Chain A
Amino acid sequence: MTRDSATPLRYAQNDEVGALRYAQNDGGEFVIPRPVAESLRLAVRDATI
């Protein structure tokens, strides 16, 4: 799969409880829970590729 043919990736947003959520190609999510995101000082800008 080339980058051009890949499904466009939607990237992360902080939800209302502060978890960092990565939208995945299959409709699922990779979630970094809020306590972890806060502990690691992760913000939306850190979730880009």
Chain B
Amino acid sequence: MNIAEKSLIVISGSNSGIGLAMAREMLDRRHAVLGLVQDAKRDPVQHPDYRQEQVDMSDPDSLQTRIMEILRGIDVPVRALVNNAGVGRMGFLEQLSVSDLQVVMNTNFLSHAIVTRAFLPLLKRQGYGDIVFTGSESALSGTRQGSVYCASKFAIRGFAQALREECGKANVRVSLINPGAARTPFFDDLHFEPGEGADEAIAPEDVAAVLAMALEARPGTVLDEINLSPLHKVWRRK
């Protein structure tokens, strides 16, 4: 097998929603996948080239130690790190607790910075690799009831842009994928969701296809940022 076939894709949040679609897409493309997940008991992937490790992405204090443990067990090239895990806490700012603010910023931004920092020396040593972030349309403009969520996604966008400038010399590419409303369990605990029509939400598989495109781009080219939106933007209250 060549490197692309046997190397590892690390994906956070790989057992649900967009991350799950990404994991399946990468497995279909003959990569091995290591998932970093909040609840390792939940494993809908069930594939011989897939394994997952439990990490608490909302707890930066424990994350560094946990990621080092996981890194120690990696014995194949890491083709890509996909920082995908995320949570939503929506509402007017007065409705959000300090805990809500911390969980969103820790999970959607700080954890990705910590995980990326831990993997970076390995990727630089390899002299190749991709770091991909799942951003959001909320990384592009602020919206009502999305203050902290938008802030976390703006943060990851700025982080990705800066990191891209830092990593180019080492041939490590950094990409940001900004999905609009996607039909995933992300909305299970929120008070709104995309419309029911097929063109009123993007599919998680659409985002996974963009990940594949980013990874398979000519090595000298980086797909720095890609935005996806449903053809018709329709939200409905539950």
Contacts and interface: CB of A to CB of B under 8 A. Distances in A.
Given A39-B75, A40-B74, A33 B68 contact: yes
Contacts of A10: none
Interface centre among A43, A46, A49 (most CB of B within 10 A): A46
B232 interface: no
Contact of B122 (A33, A35, A40, A49): A40
Given A30-B117, A36-B68, A46 B74 contact: no
Nearest to A40: B122
Contacts, number: 32
B125 interface: yes
Main secondary structure of the interface of A (DSSP, over half): mixed
Interface string A11-32: 0000000001000000000101
B124 interface: yes
B237 to A, nearest CB: 43
Nearest to A30: B117
A41 B71 contact: no
Interface residues of B, number: 13
Interface centre among B68, B73, B117, B121 (most CB of A within 10 A): B121
A14 to B, nearest CB: 12
Interface residues of A, number: 14
B121 A46 contact: yes
A49 B124 CA distance: 9
A12 B121 CA distance: 11
A49 B166 contact: yes
B121 A40 contact: yes
Contacts of B71: 32, 36, 39-40
B236 interface: no
Contacts of B72: 35-36, 39-40
Contacts of B124: 46
Contacts of B73: 39
A47 B73 CA distance: 20
B166 A39 contact: no
7 contacts: A20-B121, A30-B117, A32-B68, A33-B68, A39-B72, A39-B73, A42-B121
Interface of B: 68, 71-75, 117-118, 121-122, 124-125, 166
Closest 6 CB pairs of A and B: A46-B125, A36-B72, A39-B72, A40-B122, A36-B68, A36-B71
